[in-house]
Copies of this chain bind each other. A is one copy, B any other.
């Protein structure tokens, strides 16, 4: 951590004596309380990283299979042998440690426990443990590791969190964790223990808002189209086309929701840019709702991709559906009976229109998938920052543009036809084109040279201040 400024004359001699202290045969052991799944897996992993491991057990002679190379002792003996004790025991059974208080004095207790639900206890497990054994130093952490991941060596590069009141104790635990291939993040004092204990219980928190939006949009458009298509046909024309609910309706709703979600994914960026332009600085926080929105853009994009994927498959199976085949056959038969030949004239405009429509859809979907692939952690991690922003921003807006045009072409010759507006409502695809169009227009405004220049300067730290413009502007601008 620190930098040696002195000259390294005494480098060699120390070098010789430095290493034994780490690999000495009389290496100090690590202690594990608890011989359950987690205790055993943790011990195995610690042994594999070259540590000595001692288990503390109430029944040292009959505690089931333990990893080869580990020793088993009574709790007292184990506590005496080690300075670092991993507590792999359920909170309900912590009380036995109260009786060991004298042996645990000055030791570091690493609390790995989790609860089954949130808020079932008034205080965090680690805080409770500290209260039981005030003489020891409790560190909460590593509780995101599962026995399964430990056994299968799936730790490499995983982030784990620590918290505790003693920096020394945390450092000691961090060193062990680093040896196991984990990356350690310090989350501060023991008061953060509750957060850490809630961590393994979280269930896609960052997906909730996007999923809620997606479900609301789907429900709304489903209902809207149900009325416009199925109920309208039944009421006005007396036709029962309820079978369309399953595929036709869904295949209208999915692309609509997908396009809206994709544009909602790029809208906050545009809003943020205009906010920065209006404020003339990047140093004022965005409003909370905008911050939250920007944090779930990735999830929104992935949900949009999911809907696009469903739309694609729904489209591919169109020709094998019973209703579609029936329509095709009955149309031919009708034509033959009525002996009309005109409709069979090949309409070149129609051919160009539908083909363009499909091509744009395919290209849009292709770019969609590309965006999704680069959001995979391992792919995104191998990109440089400029590459990542090129794909997510430039390519993302191109995708939005293509998909929006795909939507416009769908209705190109229907916008001005009166029969389109059943019961005076616009069709679904018109509604869904509003948000993407707004985003694209705003984005184009931002790309105008004069606006773009100001924005770039603001993002580099320049400030448009009223009063002491010179001075503060200069200072701010020094920061990356």
Contacts and interface: CB of A to CB of B under 8 A. Distances in A.
Given A3-B84, A6-B16, A332-B332, A144 B385 contact: yes
A261 to B, nearest CB: 16
A37 B7 CA distance: 36
Contact of A332 (B20, B185, B314, B333): B333
Contacts of A466: none
Interface stretch (A27-35, A228-236, A426-434): A27-35
Contact of A17 (B6, B83, B179): B6
A243 to B, nearest CB: 4
A21 B27 contact: no
A36 B247 CA distance: 52
B362 A313 contact: yes
A331 B242 CA distance: 27
Contacts of A36: 461, 479-480
Interface stretch (A170-178, A213-221, A270-278, A400-408): A170-178
Given A112-B480, A320-B315, A480-B36, A309 B366 contact: yes
Interface string A466-480: 000000001101111
Nearest to A459: B37
A187 interface: yes
Interface residues of A, number: 162
Interface in A65-81: 65, 69
Interface string A370-384: 100000111111101
A447 interface: no
A322 B319 CA distance: 12
A321 to B, nearest CB: 6
Contacts of A475: 58-59
Contacts of A175: 1
A320 B322 contact: no
A184 interface: yes
A344 interface: yes
Given A156-B157, A185-B49, A246 B320 contact: no
Contact of A47 (B10, B50, B186): B186
B4 A16 contact: yes
Given A27-B1, A48-B187, A478 B93 contact: yes
Interface string A80-119: 0001100011101100100000000011100011100000
Interface in A123-160: 144, 146, 149, 153-159
A169 B20 CA distance: 10
Contact of A8 (B168, B170, B204): B168
Given A15-B21, A34-B479, A159 B167 contact: no
Closest 9 A/B residue pairs (Cβ): A36-B479, A8-B20, A11-B24, A181-B183, A378-B378, A93-B478, A3-B83, A4-B19, A23-B171
11 contacts: A3-B107, A4-B16, A8-B20, A34-B478, A200-B384, A243-B348, A246-B358, A313-B365, A321-B351, A328-B329, A333-B341
Given A2-B15, A15-B21, A93-B477, 5 more contacts: A14-B18, A90-B460, A153-B185, A154-B377, A317-B358
